[in-house]
Amino acid sequence: MVDIGLDAYRFSISWSRLIPNGRGPINPKGLEYYNNLINELISHGIQPHVTLHNFDLPRALEDEYGGWVSPKIVEDFRAYAEVCFREFGDRVLHWTSVNEPNVFAMGGYDLGFLPPQRCSSPFGIRNCSKGNSSSEPYLVVHHCLLAHASAARLYKKTYQDKQHGFVGLSIYMYWFVPFSDSEEDAKAVERGNEFLVNWLLHPLVFGEYPNVMKKNVGSRMPNFTIAESSLVKGSADFIGIIHYQNWYIKDDPHSLMMQNRDFGADMAANMIEMHDNATTPESLQGVIEYLKQVYGNPPTYVYENGLPIKRNSSLKDVPRVEYMHGYIGAVLDALRNVDVEICRRNGSNIKGYFTWSFLDLFELLDGYQSSYGLFYIDLDDPDLKRYPKLSAKWFSNFLKGKVANLDTILELHNNLPNTSLYHNLQ
């Protein structure tokens, strides 16, 4: 990290590793592990950005009361967060409570292909043994928001004056393109934003869910009490953006006629992944602008942005370099946006950009089949030797203020390590 020029590193603390039973005794080896990691980062001038929950929950809490589907999770999460604030907060300034609750709820509790694999027929894409796709996604996000807000209030009341840090929430920020030029698909874009983005942002800014969601979901939509609304409203010091690419969206009005509906049917629109335009930097700029225009330009970090490439394909990851070049450029354009009418900067409140990911790792959706890393990891090597890809060289040049345009790609490629593995991967 030091060689590349990184000044910040984002990672998750595993609740199960630190407090194996979800509550109660702290695992001393888990505590030592995270203290060592944080201390090593700090000693090299690298800021730790810590996420408290990223799809993994202690099994004991899942077995006891169903984990995130139960309101009991709010107090247990607050207590877990307090352990982290107390033990690590003297060195950690940036805390993300929950990572992308919208994807967590849809993938884990509606379609059932993500942990904890809960769903119900006919909506799940696998045969889940437990769950209710019609109601649980809404309950899970509701409890994520309350858990986040509860932890944030605790931090502000007990720790912020001494530690001077911040507590935020990360959201998978979709950018939708109408599937056609029809007015119906244009309205589907608005509805998609309401369901998948404003679902989280609206409570954080205004203390309530979007009206279109309350209308379409009806009695299955949880309600905030007055006290809960006050707790959630204004509870995020920053927003973390998770963004990769555009999605098409197509109107589907007939789904609202179904008696038994899940999240997708309530949205009355179909999402279609774009496979033909992986590099669309304007989508990230659009997401950032959306936060500025609709939600008051909150402090924002781009916490995930990257391109998957098939593992073991090549260290010469030119498509990833082109992707990073475009998307980082979009962030810079959003930062320096100029209002020509009043002749002054009118930029977004972006505080940082993190590429996904520093190293090749075990991916949530497809394990080791694809890689996002700037560094290749040789899984056949007992020492897990690392090799810098072309993207690592390019990103290092960019961070150090050297020439980082696309014309330098082949020159950088010639300087990659001359190893047998490298030649095999070309």
User: Strand pairing partners for 371?
Assistant: 309
Q: Helices (DSSP H) in 166-309: which residue ranges?
A: 183-193, 199-206, 211-217, 226-232, 263-267, 281-295
Q: Is the peptide bond before 122 cis (omega within 30 degrees of 0)?
A: yes
**81/376 Cα distance (integer angstroms):** 33
Which residues are annotated as catalytic? 100, 304
* Closest CA relative to residue 374, chosen from 394, 363, 355, 359: 359
**8/10 Cα distance (integer angstroms):** 7
The distance of Cα 98 from the centroid of its chain, to the nearest Å, equals 9
Task: Decide: 209 and 200 in contact? Cβ < 8 Å.
Answer: no
Q: ∠54-18-98 over CA atoms, to 5°?
A: 25
**222/236 Cα distance (integer angstroms):** 20
**411/195 Cα distance (integer angstroms):** 46
| Per-residue DSSP letter, 191 | H
Alpha-carbon dihedral sign for residues 244, 250, 256, 259: negative
